[in-house]
């Protein structure tokens, strides 16, 4: 008799309204199950562990929907089956070291600030430390802020994790401590140590792994184009020495261990780092192809008997091109909403960035043609290539997501940046792309894709984002379950 794996016994389950919250003490994951997944979970836990028994126990769901929910439960490692048996040892390895680690920074990612003030506009700056507030108070910097009578009136409080943090107020999208000369008033009065940590660190990011702290660049920086032309302000060793104090601070990210390759498929961090080192110098499609092969090697093999189509209704066929087209539509809609919200609140910088990205989505999705455009010189392609280099150097592709999702998102950033750069050239009446076009495209793309609403849209369509990693390959079920809104037909809810 074909049986379905039961829910794992050591999970902590909280009953919510029409849903369940599952906390996994082994992996540290927290999973929220929607109404359909919860019904399947309860029936499985009650002993209905055959396809026919489960179908009878949850009569309001079709066999195809039950199979979909089971696949999601399996990918979330909530079922005591073969996928969990493979992944479990990876979550019980040695804890990462807290010892001092060397910094690893690619020489191509060295940076020279041009003092453009771009990092002080259009973004939220904080949390603001007491040193910054003290400097504002002692040097009466608040007198330059209209209506402010103390340092406390230069910041606003909002939730920050489980605490409340202070963030710099903005006027017309700019930090109130940015002077008309595009200089930081806090820096001038109290030195760099008085500034918020995010300001001292920008545009560098730090990710702590087992063997090193990986340093990368954030692509929102408007100085990148100038840095490419001018070269680094300091030699490599001096720069690393200056970055060292920041590399041990609270803004350092942790590289996950184990690393998630795709839904339910993991690899220990040491093996991942060895694999990643072999990808240096390769193009994004080459890296993505190797990542697909790695995920297949780790996670496929023989399909469990209970998942075979013979036990369930045949799921709808998914055409990769159609899946990706719907993804572009959903992201375009999300960015259009951001444009409207920014216009309503008179946030001109965000409105212009969102509008540029909305048009870039139309170009990138093939809905609008802007004609043939060529590169002015090699600086443009070199800057665009930094997107790949930076993501590799800082392990951005796995820091907050799985490897295939990260590579798919990187492909999206790459194509949107190129489309935005082409648009800027056309709007300026040129047929040649400059490095500054690429720089502006990078800023708009990275800022807008990280806004909560757009990020949520991408997360809902995570399977479609993974398919962008290697668009010429067919969609594979192990890339994840597509959100029903991306399918011609499907279940009404895809909440896990």
- Cα(211)–Cα(125) distance, integer angstroms: 31
Classify residue 385 by burial, with Cβ atoms within 10 Å: 0-12, 13-18, 19+: middle
CA atoms within 13 A on the CB side of 482: 26
CA max distance for the chain = 78
Residue 257 to residue 380: CA distance in whole angstroms: 36
Q: How far apart (Å, rounded) are the C-alpha atoms in residues 219 and 223? A: 10
Structure tokens at 135: 């400097």
What residues does each domain of the chain span? 12-92, 114-202, 259-486
Placement of tokens 């300091």 in the chain: 234
**Strand order through the sheet with 12-16:** 12-16, 19-23, 30-33
Specify the DSSP element, H or E, that contains 12.
Answer: strand 12-16
Name the nearest CA neighbour of 4 among 87, 88, 66: 66
Q: CA geometry: angle at 397 spanning 393 and 398, to 5°?
A: 105
pLDDT digits (tens), the chain, 496 positions: 789 999 999 999 999 888 899 999 999 889 999 999 999 999 999 999 999 999 999 999 999 889 989 989 999 999 999 889 989 999 987 676 677 899 998 888 888 778 888 778 767 788 888 888 889 888 988 888 888 888 888 888 877 766 778 888 888 778 888 888 888 899 988 888 888 888 888 889 999 998 899 999 888 888 888 877 776 667 788 888 888 888 877 788 899 999 999 998 999 999 999 999 999 889 999 999 999 989 888 876 567 888 888 888 876 677 888 888 889 999 999 999 999 988 888 878 788 888 999 999 998 888 888 888 899 999 899 999 888 999 999 999 998 899 999 999 999 999 999 999 999 999 888 999 999 999 999 988 988 898 888 999 999 899 899 989 888 777 777 778 888 778 765 443 433 4
Q: Give the pLDDT score at 490.
A: 45
Q: What is the DSSP letter of 265?
A: E
CA dist 113 → 41, 198, 221 (Å): 54, 15, 9
pLDDT in tens, 356-384: 999 999 988 888 888 888 999 998 999 99
pLDDT score for 350: 81
For residue range 333-357, list pLDDT tens digits in order: 999 999 998 888 887 878 888 899 9
């Amino acid at each position: 008799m074909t049986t379905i794996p039961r829910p794992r016994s050591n999970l902590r389950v909280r009953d919510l309204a029409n849903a369940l919250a599952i906390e996994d003490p082994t992996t540290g994951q927290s999973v929220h199950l929607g109404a359909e997944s919860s019904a399947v979970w309860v029936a499985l836990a009650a002993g209905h562990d055959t396809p026919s028994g489960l179908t009878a126990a949850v009569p309001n769901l079709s066999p195809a929907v039950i199979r979909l929910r089971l696949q999601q439960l399996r990918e979330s490692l909530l079922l005591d089956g073969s996928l969990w048996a493979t992944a479990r040892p990876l979550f019980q390895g040695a804890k990462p070291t807290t010892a001092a680690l060397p910094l690893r920074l690619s020489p191509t990612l060295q940076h020279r600030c041009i003092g453009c003030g771009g990092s002080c506009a259009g973004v939220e700056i904080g949390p603001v430390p007491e040193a910054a507030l003290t400097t504002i108070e002692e040097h009466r910097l608040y007198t330059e802020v209209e209506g402010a009578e103390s340092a406390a009136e230069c910041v606003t409080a909002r939730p920050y994790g489980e605490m409340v943090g202070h963030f710099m107020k903005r006027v017309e999208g700019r930090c109130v401590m940015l002077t008309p000369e595009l200089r930081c008033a806090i820096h001038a009065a109290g030195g760099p140590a008085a500034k918020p940590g995010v300001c001292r660190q920008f545009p560098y990011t730090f990710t702590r792994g087992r063997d090193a702290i990986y340093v990368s660049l954030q692509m929102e920086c408007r100085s990148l184009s100038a840095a490419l032309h001018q070269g680094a302000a300091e030699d490599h060793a001096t720069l690393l020495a200056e970055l060292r104090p920041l590399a041990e601070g609270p803004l350092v990210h942790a590289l996950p261990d184990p690393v998630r390759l795709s839904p339910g498929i993991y690899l220990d961090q040491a093996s991942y780092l060895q694999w990643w080192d072999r990808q240096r110098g390769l193009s994004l499609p080459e890296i993505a192809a190797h990542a697909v092969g790695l995920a297949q090697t780790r996670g496929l093999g023989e399909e469990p008997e209970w998942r075979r189509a013979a036990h369930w209704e045949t799921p709808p066929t998914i055409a990769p091109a159609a899946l990706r087209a719907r993804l572009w539509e959903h992201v375009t809609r999300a960015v259009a909403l951001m444009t409207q919200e920014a216009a309503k609140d008179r946030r001109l910088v965000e409105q212009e960035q969102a509008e540029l990205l909305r048009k870039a989505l139309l170009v990138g999705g093939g809905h609008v043609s802007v004609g043939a455009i060529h590169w002015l010189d090699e600086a443009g392609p070199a800057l665009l290539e930094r997107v790949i280099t930076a993501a590799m150097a800082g392990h951005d592709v796995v820091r907050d997501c799985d490897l295939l999702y990260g590579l798919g998102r990187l492909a999206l950033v790459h194509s949107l940046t190129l489309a935005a750069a082409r648009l800027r050239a056309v709007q300026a009446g040129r047929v040649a792309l400059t490095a500054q076009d690429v720089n502006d495209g990078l800023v708009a793309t990275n800022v807008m894709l990280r806004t909560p609403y757009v990020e949520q849209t991408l997360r809902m369509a995570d399977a479609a984002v993974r398919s962008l990693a290697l668009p010429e390959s067919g969609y594979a079920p192990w890339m994840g379950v597509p959100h029903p809104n991306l399918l011609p037909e499907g279940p009404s809810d895809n909440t896990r």
